[in-house]
C-alpha cells in the first residue's frame, strides 16, 4: 500500500524533508543564542552603567585592549584638554539619527599620558571637506566622567578606506593611531563623555546604549522550531492523502470494464 514511497518523486520529497528538519532546528538554536547574547549584553550594560565610577587609569593603560567585561564602565579622568590635536570623527549620528561628527579631544593627565575623550556630536559642515563648527573645550584642569569604550578597528567597523581624509578628520577612534599622531602615550580605548554637561548642550552628549529591548530573536527561534515540527506532520498528511487517492483510483473500474458494463446495460 505504501510502495509509492519508493517512487522518485517521493524519495526526493522525503530527502528534502529530512534535510529541512535539522536545518530549521539549527536556525532556531542560532536565534536562541542571539537572544541569550542580547540578554547577557543588556545585563552587562546595565551593571556597568550603574557601577560606581573609577579612575580610568585603573581599567586601562597605553596599549591596553579594553575587554568586553569593561565596556561601558563608568570612569573619571582629570587633566587638561589638548585642543591643538582635537579631531572630528566623520559619519556619526546623533540621538535623532542625524548624520554629523563626533568631537574627539585628547585629555592630558597629570602624569603626561593622555586619554581620548569623545565630547559628543556636532552637525557636519555643509561642505564635507570642511571642518565643522566645534564648541571649544573647557580650559584649565577638568574632571570628566564617561563610559569606557574599546578602540574601533577596521575589522569590527567594516571601514577599510581611511585615505584621503580632510585635515583633522578621522573615521575611527583608535588609541594607537592617535598616540602616533600625538607623540605621547595614550590610554587604550577612549572615554565617551557623560558629564559635565557642555554649555548650551553642544556638543550633544551621546545617549546611553539601549539595554532594555531584547528583540524578536526568541520568537524567531520558536518559529523555526514550529516549522521543523511541521515538516514531518506535513509529510504524514501528504502520504495519507496520496494513499487515499490511490485507493480511490484503484476502486474505480477501468475504462474497458466501464464500457462493458454500459454495453451490457444497453443490451
Say whether both 23 and 115 belong to one domain: no
Q: Is residue 139 part of a domain?
A: yes
Ramachandran area for residue 120 (φ above 0: left; ψ -120 to 50: alpha; else beta): left
pLDDT of 169 reads 95
Count: domains in the chain: 2
Q: Is residue 264 part of a domain?
A: no
Q: Which residue has the higher pLDDT, 40 or 106?
A: 106
Q: Calculate the average pLDDT of the chain.
A: 89
Nearest alpha carbon to residue 153 among 167, 171, 168, 179: 171
Say whether both 146 and 224 belong to one domain: no
Say whether both 196 and 140 belong to one domain: yes
The domain in which residue 222 lies consists of 1-50+218-250
Say whether both 102 and 142 belong to one domain: yes
pLDDT of 96 reads 87
Report how far residue 101's alpha carbon sits from residue 150's, in angstroms, rounded to the nearest whole number: 18
* pLDDT digit string, tens, across residues 127-143: 888 999 999 999 999 99
Q: Is residue 266 part of a domain?
A: no
Q: Is residue 77 part of a domain?
A: yes
Nearest alpha carbon to residue 144 among 65, 85, 203, 90: 203
- For residue 92, pLDDT over 60 is answered with yes
- For residue 30, pLDDT over 90 is answered with yes
Say whether both 42 and 77 belong to one domain: no
Say whether both 141 and 94 belong to one domain: yes
Q: Is residue 196 part of a domain?
A: yes
Q: Is residue 208 part of a domain?
A: no
Report how far residue 201's alpha carbon sits from residue 19's, in angstroms, rounded to the nearest whole number: 57
Say whether both 135 and 234 belong to one domain: no
Exposure pattern of 197-217 as b/e (b: 16+ CB <10 Å)?
Answer: ebeeebbbbbeeeebeeeeeb
Say whether both 46 and 60 belong to one domain: no
Say whether both 117 and 238 belong to one domain: no
Q: Is residue 137 part of a domain?
A: yes
- For residue 259, pLDDT over 60 is answered with no
Say whether both 36 and 105 belong to one domain: no
pLDDT of 156 reads 60
Say whether both 104 and 136 belong to one domain: yes
Q: Is residue 257 part of a domain?
A: no
Say whether both 41 and 56 belong to one domain: no
* pLDDT digit string, tens, across residues 176-215: 999 999 999 999 999 999 999 998 878 999 998 877 777 8
Predicted model pTM:
0.76
Amino acid at each position: 500500500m505504501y510502495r509509492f514511497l519508493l517512487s522518485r518523486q517521493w524519495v526526493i520529497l522525503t530527502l528534502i524533508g529530512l534535510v529541512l528538519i535539522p536545518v530549521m532546528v539549527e536556525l532556531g538554536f542560532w536565534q536562541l543564542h542571539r537572544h541569550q547574547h542580547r540578554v547577557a549584553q543588556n545585563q552587562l550594560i546595565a551593571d556597568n552603567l550603574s557601577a560606581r565610577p573609577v579612575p580610568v587609569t585603573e581599567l586601562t593603560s597605553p596599549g591596553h585592549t579594553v575587554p568586553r567585561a569593561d565596556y561601558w564602565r563608568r570612569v573619571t579622568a582629570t587633566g587638561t584638554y589638548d585642543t591643538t590635536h582635537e579631531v572630528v570623527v566623520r559619519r556619526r549620528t546623533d540621538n535623532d539619527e542625524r548624520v554629523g561628527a563626533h568631537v574627539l579631544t585628547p585629555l592630558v593627565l597629570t602624569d603626561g599620558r593622555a586619554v581620548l575623550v569623545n565630547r559628543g556630536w556636532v552637525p557636519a559642515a555643509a561642505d564635507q571637506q570642511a571642518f565643522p563648527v566645534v564648541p571649544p573645550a573647557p580650559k584649565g584642569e577638568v574632571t570628566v566622567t564617561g563610559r569606557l569604550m574599546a578602540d574601533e578597528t577596521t575589522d569590527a567597523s567594516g571601514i577599510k578606506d581611511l585615505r584621503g581624509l580632510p585635515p583633522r578628520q578621522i573615521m575611527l577612534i583608535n588609541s594607537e593611531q592617535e598616540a602616533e599622531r600625538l607623540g605621547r602615550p595614550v590610554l587604550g580605548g577612549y572615554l565617551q563623555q557623560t558629564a559635565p554637561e557642555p554649555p548650551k548642550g553642544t556638543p550633544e552628549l551621546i545617549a546611553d546604549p539601549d539595554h532594555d529591548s531584547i528583540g524578536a530573536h526568541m520568537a524567531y527561534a520558536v518559529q523555526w522550531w514550529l516549522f521543523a515540527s511541521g515538516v514531518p506532520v506535513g509529510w504524514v498528511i501528504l502520504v495519507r492523502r496520496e494513499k487515499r487517492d490511490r485507493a480511490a483510483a484503484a476502486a474505480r473500474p477501468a475504462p474497458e470494464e466501464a464500457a462493458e458494463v454500459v454495453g451490457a446495460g444497453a443490451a
